[in-house]
Structure 1
Amino acid sequence: MNDSVSFGYEDVSPEEKTERVGAVFSNVAKKYDLMNDAMSAGMHRLWKDRFVRRVKPQPGEQILDMAGGTGDIAFRLAEHGADVTVSDINQEMLDVGVERAMERGLDSFVWSRQNAEELSFPNRSFDAYTIAFGIRNVTHIAKALAEANRVLKFGGRFYCLEFSTTEWPGFREAYDAYSHHLVPQLGQVLAGDADSYRYLIESIRRFPKMPEFEQMIRDAGFVRTRVEPIMGGLVAIHSGWKV
């Protein structure tokens, strides 16, 4: 298959990946926080706090939070006074975010169903673009990065939080065993869905290594790129600027 992309450990057509990833997130939308807790042993909350500190949102800034359907990042950004547009390709994920915002009495967000590869926003619309644990699920990552660059203003900043591959000896092997064997079992017990959790773990293993992904960000036109590994690279914060 010449034009194939990865879906976990499988190689599938781009159309099939888009469809199957959509089904995964439709299945796990209601259990998304539970999913992240299972995959990270609850550490994702601390990583997201750290991520938003790096973004340094300012009052009145226009920020696009892509693949942010449930609002986890958006709520944190808004605490600093930023005006946040929350976008996701999956309507079920957005529905969860809207419900959570209503429960918190928050009504300042724009909720917009969007494909990261083909955003409907005009050029130079946003001061910052954030994406947390979403870029690896995009069918064509390079297209999504190019779109991120397009919708950012000059001087705008790109921030991505994503799982990677830890380089800590010993811990890497322990995490591999935990993630491949225990996480799908937890998914079955807690959410009745082992297959979706198995895909999410496999998608981490197929995601480009940190230096390779940083180069992809540069290729999309960003400068002053930086990678900040967390826990030896288990998770990484990638950033770049549009000039």
Structure 2
Amino acid sequence: MFEQIELFLISLIANTFSAFSGGGAGLLQFPALIFLGLPFAVALATHKVASVALGVGAAFRHYKERNLHLKLSVLMVVSGVPGVLIGAWGILSVPERLAQISLGVLTISLGIYSFLKPNLGTYHYFRDMSRKQYVTAGIGLFLIGILNGSLTSGTGLFVTLWLVTHLKLDYQRAVAHTLVWVGIVWNGSGAGLLGVIGQVHWSWLPALLIGSLLGGYLGAHLSIKKGNKMIKRAFECVTIAVGLALLIKAM
């Protein structure tokens, strides 16, 4: 019972911060699963399954605000899922330390880039995309999908910043798309494949799923109420924290 309560609290805290800032649930949840005794591959698959509930919880809240764009949502699913499956399939052949160092440096750079752009993501300039924008946006989402399938921390943050910089969404709408489509569809696809080729620790999932579901809803609610400037600051803090955590872990 104590173990289940501990898992629930870890999941609730990690996913609340993730839903508010646009990613980073793996910063706390994934290392905690390893610390509690799961092997890397089992912890990865279990974390991916639990993360699906984050998207479900956030979707309930963001649906009321009509923050999702249909064509962009379709593009995120069509472009991202193949990348996620490729990444999940190839994760066991990638040197873990090298991957963590590379991702840590890239993730820190996201936070620094956002910090140096004071108005980035504070206004919503998104319009219907041209064919060229569809192609370039799809390629970017596909590449981020590969990272999402193979790695565990911070890849949702990449999606959020890609939507803000390339497609000119504000942070609130970018976070909404990231949480719903990355949380539900991308993580669901990766979890399904990892469940087939790996192993899920099913007895820990109830507590993790409940924490992810409630954390997703609570974080989405906070992001809607606090507005873009607060989300931007949270995004910058979480990206730098995730990046540093990855570098420390790799070292």
When normalised by structure 2's length, the TM-score is 0.30
TM-score, normalised to structure 1, is: 0.31
Q: Which has the higher helix share?
A: 2
The structure richer in strand per residue is 1
